[in-house]
Amino acid sequence: MEKIVILTGAGISAESGLGTFRDEGGLWAQHRIEDVATPEGFARDPALVQEFYNMRRLQAAQAQPNTAHVALARLQRDFPGEVVIVTQNVDGLHEKAGATGVLHMHGQLDSALCSACGQRWPAPMRMTVGEPCPSCKTSTARPDIVWFGEMPYFMDQIFDHLVSADIFAAIGTSGQVYPAAGFVQEAAAAGAHTIELNLDPSAVVSQFDDTRFGPATRTVPVWVEELLAR
Ligand code: APR
């Protein structure tokens, strides 16, 4: 049975109105990573960090999946093989489009995490500083987001998928953040056919067998149609 492993990044949600990180005017042009996306930043100013993720959580809650998310959910449903979606995104749009079993390697906006005991629970739309953990009752709640310097989630499962992939696709990611940017190398080394679908060439574009440039809402549905028509 053929297996397709798909990595998505912020670019797949751009046409749903959610900002990317490194494009012109992106999130990292508006906020310093060290202030809002590191454990040190959270320790220094938890209110600033909670506010940053409250803003993103509200935007994600109001966003709708676009035709690229919908096409991937259809591929999962109709492809006569296994389709695994690994996402760096935290916006939940893959699930809103009907995708299942999505591996959120950078966490999720709709989840809260207790720094003390590791308990997770559904995050309120607005998380406040000192939110008590429902389990250990300490007030060390944080957004369930993987920050720079922290280990991404599901890495063992992801590597197991990469080494058994027949096709690996990267969609809407700049290829500047590891370990995700190294996934194409893992998949290619294991014999997968690799394809990049991106608005612009990523930092690792040369490592792909095939590339499709353009907006995800155009390139992804075409690519999915081709796969389903084989
Ligand atoms: N269609 C397809 N690709 C697009 C579109 C679009 N409409 N708009 C932008 N892109 C592409 C850009 O060309 C860029 O290569 O999406 C990519 C977005 O890159 P980044 O902003 O770097 O986002 P991403 O690669 O997901 O970042 C990875 O970095 O800051 C961390 O945790 C954060 O998960 C994030 C990680």
Q: What is the pLDDT of residue 131?
A: 87
One domain for residues 70 and 95? yes
Whether 14 is in the pocket of ligand 1, judged by its Cβ within 6 Å, is: yes
CA angle 54, 59, 64 (to 5 degrees): 145
As a whole number of angstroms, the distance between CA 100 and CA 86 comes to 11
pTM over 0.95: yes
As a whole number of angstroms, the distance between CA 150 and CA 19 comes to 23
Q: Is 20 annotated as a binding residue?
A: yes
One domain for residues 211 and 160? yes
Residues pairing with 193 in the sheet:
167
Q: What is the 30 CA–ligand 1 centroid distance (Å)?
A: 15
**2-24 pLDDT, tens per residue?**
999 999 999 999 999 999 999 99
**70-106 pLDDT, tens per residue?**
999 999 999 999 999 999 999 999 999 999 999 999 9
Over residues 140-161, the mean pLDDT reads: 97
Which residue's CA is the nearest one to ligand 1's atom 16?
A: 11
Does residue 42 surpass a pLDDT of 90? yes
Whether 144 is in the pocket of ligand 1, judged by its Cβ within 6 Å, is: no
As a whole number of angstroms, the distance between CA 202 and CA 95 comes to 25
List helix spans (H) across the chain. 27-30, 33-36, 39-44, 46-62, 67-78, 93-96, 155-162, 183-189, 216-229
Tokens representing 151 are 């280990």
Q: What is the pLDDT of residue 140?
A: 87
Q: What is the 186 CA–ligand 1 centroid distance (Å)?
A: 20
Look over the chain and give the mean of its residue pLDDT values, rounded to a whole number.
97
Task: Give the domain CATH number at 214.
Answer: 3.40.50.1220
Q: Residue 88 is part of which domain span?
A: 1-16+65-106+152-230
Q: Is 209 annotated as a binding residue?
A: no
Counting from 1 in the atom list of ligand 1, the atom nearest the Cα of 8 is 26
Q: Is 106 a catalytic residue?
A: yes
Whether 219 is in the pocket of ligand 1, judged by its Cβ within 6 Å, is: no
As a whole number of angstroms, the distance between CA 120 and CA 158 comes to 21
One domain for residues 138 and 78? no
One domain for residues 99 and 28? no
Q: What is the pLDDT of residue 130?
A: 87
Task: Yes or no: say if 10 and 18 are a contact pair by the CB < 8 Å rule.
Answer: yes
One domain for residues 169 and 209? yes
**109-146 pLDDT, tens per residue?**
999 999 999 999 999 999 999 889 999 999 889 999 99
Q: What is the 48 CA–ligand 1 centroid distance (Å)?
A: 23
Let me know if 26 is exposed, middle or buried by CB neighbors in 10 A (0-12, 13-18, 19+): middle
Whether 183 is in the pocket of ligand 1, judged by its Cβ within 6 Å, is: no
Final residue in a domain of this structure, among 145, 160, 195: 145
Total of domains in the chain? 2
One domain for residues 75 and 24? no
As a whole number of angstroms, the distance between CA 225 and CA 71 comes to 8
**Strands laid side by side in the 141-145 sheet:** 120-122, 107-114, 141-145
